[in-house]
Amino acid sequence: MTSLAIAANGLRKSYGDKTVLDGVDLAVPEGTVFSLLGPNGAGKTTAVKILSTLVTADAGDIRIGGHDLAADPQAVRGAIGVTGQFSAVDGLITGEENMLLMADLHHLPRAEGRRVAAELLERFDLTEAAKKPASTYSGGMKRRLDIAMTLVGAPRIIFLDEPTTGLDPRSRHTMWQIIRGLVSDGVTVFLTTQYLEEADQLADRIAVLNDGGIAAEGSAEELKRLIPGGHVRLRFTDPAAYRSAASALREATLPHARTGSRGGTPVDEALVLRIPSDGSQRELRSLLDWLDSAGIEADELTVHTPDLDDVFFALTGPAGIPAQTKENVR
């Protein structure tokens, strides 16, 4: 049985009369990536701050790296590294000096500190820039330096609070590689992100935080399966062809080509019809056969499988998803 790097039960936190976390449970096995997703203001940063000892929870039991956070916060601090949206990088000094400062904070002997700093600067492709003031670094370089600084203390558990917010796609991909590298070294990563694709790419498990609680939790695949978002889109350029297809569809007897449901509603302005479908070869074949027999020829046919965006909007939208579905995932 793998042990848990992070375990929290009944986490609560309010600011004034605003309840931010209303009984949140989290369990993150060692050596995995756990991603906390949620809209702005959902409480992701608050959760990270609590788990990393920066803010005190109103209630809840927390164990980090086997240490009880309330009883021994110092041991927790020794086990973790945190890089937030607001980095610890000091722009006035060089990248190398930032690293050496961290080595001092961790009480590494001078020679050891220099060795670790040089090694990490090399690993994060910052050797060339090491002697330049960090203020001259690009956003991606600053984030890399920030993570390198976090790693000076060789933490086994790392909290990354929106590590790629504001980065260009190339720097984002570099950061993903870095995170994958950490995990292959056995490090546990607790990641908050607004980017669903990021969670999809990196996380073993994803929890969606909404309204003070975890609205759903599972692997990306499990979460996607919750949402009936799979459909085939037929796009027309000729309004008459569109109208006749829409009316044929309304008469259709194909089990998956029903209309009237959310997925079958014609989108008039765009001349698009959405037909619910699981995207399987069998369903597509019968749909294509039916389109042929009904004399419908769309200008474009695309198959859409639900992605994490669909999940996110369904879970964090005003209506949420039916309670019964929520039960099934938790």
Is the Cβ of residue 48 or residue 246 nearer to ligand ADP in the bound state? 48
Q: Which of 2, 17, 40, 186 binds ligand ADP (CB under 6 A)?
A: 40
Closest CA to 117 of 134, 137, 97, 136: 97
310, 227 in Cβ contact below 8 A?
yes
Task: For residue 38, state whether it binds ligand ADP (rule: CB under 6 A).
Answer: yes
10, 64 in Cβ contact below 8 A?
no
Task: For residue 41, state whether it binds ligand ADP (rule: CB under 6 A).
Answer: yes
Closest CA to 309 of 202, 162, 197, 172: 197
Q: Which of 4, 44, 214, 321 binds ligand ADP (CB under 6 A)?
A: 44
Task: For residue 42, state whether it binds ligand ADP (rule: CB under 6 A).
Answer: yes
Distance CA 106, CA 27 (A): 28
In angstroms, give the least distance from the CB of 206 to ligand ADP: 15
- Greatest Cα-to-Cα distance within the chain, rounded to the nearest angstrom: 79
Is the Cβ of residue 8 or residue 152 nearer to ligand ADP in the bound state? 8
Closest CA to 274 of 317, 242, 322: 242
Q: Among the candidate windows 40-48, 94-102, 231-239, 311-319, which touches ligand ADP by CB under 6 A?
A: 40-48
- Please state whether 125 falls in left (phi above 0), alpha (psi between -120 and 50) or beta: left
Is the Cβ of residue 41 or residue 91 nearer to ligand ADP in the bound state? 41
Task: For residue 45, state whether it binds ligand ADP (rule: CB under 6 A).
Answer: yes
CA dihedral defined by 209, 52, 173, 140, rounded to 10 degrees? 120
Task: For residue 46, state whether it binds ligand ADP (rule: CB under 6 A).
Answer: yes
Distance CA 102, CA 91 (A): 14
Is the Cβ of residue 45 or residue 277 nearer to ligand ADP in the bound state? 45
Task: For residue 24, state whether it binds ligand ADP (rule: CB under 6 A).
Answer: no
In angstroms, give the least distance from the CB of 116 to ligand ADP: 31
Is the Cβ of residue 45 or residue 87 nearer to ligand ADP in the bound state? 45
Binding residues for ligand ADP, per CB under 6 A?
15, 20, 38, 40-46
